[in-house]
Chains A and B, each alone.
Chain A
Amino acid sequence: MTITNDYLPILILILVGIGLAGMFTIIGLVVGPKLRTREKAAPFESGFLGKGMEGYRYDVKFFMTALVFLVFDVEIVFLYPWTVQIRELGWFGFVASMVFISVLVIGLAYDWKKGALEWE
């Protein structure tokens, strides 16, 4: 089967990835020295001082960005098959895709004017 041949490298890659990550973790656990100090026990917060998770609320603007990203991500998915067939589909494909994109450009303009792209 061609599928097995095509996807075998990917499968091997995934297995190697899992294996390597697991190996390093285990080696680190087994071989590494264990020094438990207060600084080390504190959770790593991207360079910020940890304030503790109790009652901490994530800002809604992350969510807004993710929502906008999702919509345009789905748009990409629909344009993907066009790019594969761009020569065969010719001008018709171009026009059809432009109609599709221009509707979403209106959406983008909407997001922009409403400040959904701003990071307040």
Chain B
Amino acid sequence: MAFVTTTDLIPLIPELILLGAAFVVLLLDLFAPGSQRTTLAVTTIVGFVIALVAEIQLLDSGATGFYGTIVADGFSILFESLYLVIGILTVLLSLHYLDDHGIGFGEYYVLLITAVVGMMFMTSSLELLVIFIGLEIMSISSYILVGIRRRVPESNEAALKYLLLGAFSTGFLLYGISLLYGATGSIRIPEIVVALQEPGALNNPLAIIGVALIIIAMGFKVAVVPFHMWTPDVYSGAPTPVTAFLSAAAKAAGFAMFVRVLLTGIPLEAELWKDLFWAIAVLTMTVGNVMALMQNSVKRMLAYSSVAHAGYIMVAVVVGTPAALSSVIFYSCAYAVMGTGAFGILTVRHFGKTPDSYDDLAGYARYKPCLAFLMSVFMLSLIGLPLTGGFIGKLQIFQAALEEGWVWLTVIGLLNSALSVYYYLRVVVCLYMREGSVPDGAVLEVAESPGFALTGLVGAASVVVYLGVFPQTLLELAASSVSTLF
């Protein structure tokens, strides 16, 4: 029997580092109960940073392992680095939030790390079995993170809904994988692709149902209409840093899997599939934006807006050319950073409570000018105004769509962007134009701004602006990583 050797572990070094960090945090929390929360957070961040360094070392190494099922190609390294960056941001945003809300679990950080590890396995594997297990690690960690505020009914409701619908979608994924296995005789993506590229292979009912079920499952994970029902409740019930993490990293991981499994050669050019993706893209953009328009809670608005942004990315999925796929990567990165930033602002207390409705945002310009400015940057980027990452992202997507002659899709996308201006600007208006009255008895915390969170938010905003002004580096990385896929 040919066993694996230690060299097979090379492409997994970042994952192993993170797992080590998770064990250290877990054991620190267990055996040194007196240790400060800050210690745990810093240990977590150190783990993420070392893993990030390892990712960068792996770039261009072309390392593979475990019988070719684990790869460290440009695509996986780019996405894994994104998860790590979002992980760091989430930890920075969590520290004060956990204290404010009395979430006294060191396990919080452990679950955050395991969720990222799960995503990394999902992204770097070419075998559907490992992808599935990675997805499960990510999902189960996030179910617990969503429900970690056990005494809060909304948090319980969110966790339960997420668990039930998530388990349901996992079922679809497994059925899809097993049917594809039946149709092609393999669970490795390259072999499946070869088998399905044979003429007429995709007319096989087994393959059709298999692919359709996998599309449904991934639709759940990235929350595209009509599989988005869980998003608003889960996003608004979860602790806000977790919401930020889910909307950014989990969604990016979902799209990474979408690209890796379905768009690297399975011939989905037929009308049937294009029409399906087309309908999903249009519905997702429109429903997301219209529902976001009707919300009164900023957190729920951002939840629906994350649905809308998944719709923009779906436009690129419809187009499916290498240029479009690289715009999927760019937009996932840009949205991840600006989305995390926008949710991140909501973690900071204002007049003694975490802001929820638009009214709660009043008076920010006067009492928290720095946060008001950062939030405006994120909002402008979410709209897609020039000089922000959101602009370049949308430009890439719609350019790729126009090149392939998807005029109507582009028009619908642009109309949707125009619609979104209203509710994003409403946030900015509330921040700057409305005088906040200090509620009776509220402590005026003008000076208090949690240092960790501020660092993270400023970092996120600089990345957003950097991506808007100097997009070249990431664009080139995205383009070259797409070329490694085929």
> Do any beta carbons of A and B sit within 8 angstroms of each other in the complex?
yes
Residues of chain A touching chain B, judged by Cβ–Cβ distance below 8 Å, are 88-89, 92, 106, 109-110, 113-114
- Which B14-58 residues have C-beta < 8 A from chain A? 23, 26-27, 30-31
Could you give 13 example pairs across A and B, Cβ below 8 Å? A88-B1, A89-B1, A92-B3, A106-B23, A106-B26, A106-B27, A109-B27, A109-B30, A110-B26, A110-B30, A113-B30, A113-B31, A114-B30
Q: Nearest-CB distance from A106 to chain B (Å)?
A: 6
Q: Nearest-CB distance from A118 to chain B (Å)?
A: 15
Q: Which residue of B lies closest to A107 (CB)?
A: B26
**Bound Cα distance from A89 to B1, whole angstroms:** 8
B23 partner residues in chain A, CB cutoff 8 A: 106
A109 partner residues in chain B, CB cutoff 8 A: 27, 30
B1 partner residues in chain A, CB cutoff 8 A: 88-89
Q: Nearest-CB distance from A88 to chain B (Å)?
A: 7
Q: Nearest-CB distance from B47 to chain A (Å)?
A: 16
Q: Is the interface of B mostly helix, strand, loop or mixed?
A: helix
Q: Which residue of A lies closest to B31 (CB)?
A: A113
**Bound Cα distance from A110 to B111, whole angstroms:** 14
B3 partner residues in chain A, CB cutoff 8 A: 92
Q: Which residue of A lies closest to B110 (CB)?
A: A110
B26 partner residues in chain A, CB cutoff 8 A: 106, 110
B31 partner residues in chain A, CB cutoff 8 A: 113
Q: Nearest-CB distance from A32 to chain B (Å)?
A: 47
**Bound Cα distance from A106 to B30, whole angstroms:** 10
**Bound Cα distance from A113 to B23, whole angstroms:** 15
Q: Nearest-CB distance from B92 to chain A (Å)?
A: 26
**Bound Cα distance from A114 to B110, whole angstroms:** 15
**Bound Cα distance from A88 to B2, whole angstroms:** 11
Q: Which residue of B lies closest to A88 (CB)?
A: B1
Q: Nearest-CB distance from A99 to chain B (Å)?
A: 11
**Bound Cα distance from A106 to B1, whole angstroms:** 30
Contact code string B1-18 (vs A, CB < 8 Å = 1, else 0): 101000000000000000
Q: Which residue of B lies closest to A114 (CB)?
A: B30
B30 partner residues in chain A, CB cutoff 8 A: 109-110, 113-114
Going nearest first, the 9 A-B pairs with the smallest beta carbon separation are A92-B3, A113-B30, A106-B23, A110-B30, A110-B26, A106-B26, A109-B30, A88-B1, A113-B31
A113 partner residues in chain B, CB cutoff 8 A: 30-31
**Bound Cα distance from A96 to B26, whole angstroms:** 22
Q: Nearest-CB distance from B322 to chain A (Å)?
A: 39
**Bound Cα distance from A88 to B3, whole angstroms:** 12
**Bound Cα distance from A113 to B31, whole angstroms:** 8
Q: Which of A89, A113, A114 has most B Cβ within 10 Å?
A: A113
Q: Which residue of A lies closest to B23 (CB)?
A: A106
Beyond A106-B27, A113-B30, 7 extra complex contacts between A and B, CB < 8 Å? A88-B1, A89-B1, A92-B3, A106-B26, A109-B27, A109-B30, A114-B30
Q: Which residue of B lies closest to A113 (CB)?
A: B30
Q: Nearest-CB distance from B35 to chain A (Å)?
A: 14
Q: Which residue of B lies closest to A95 (CB)?
A: B3
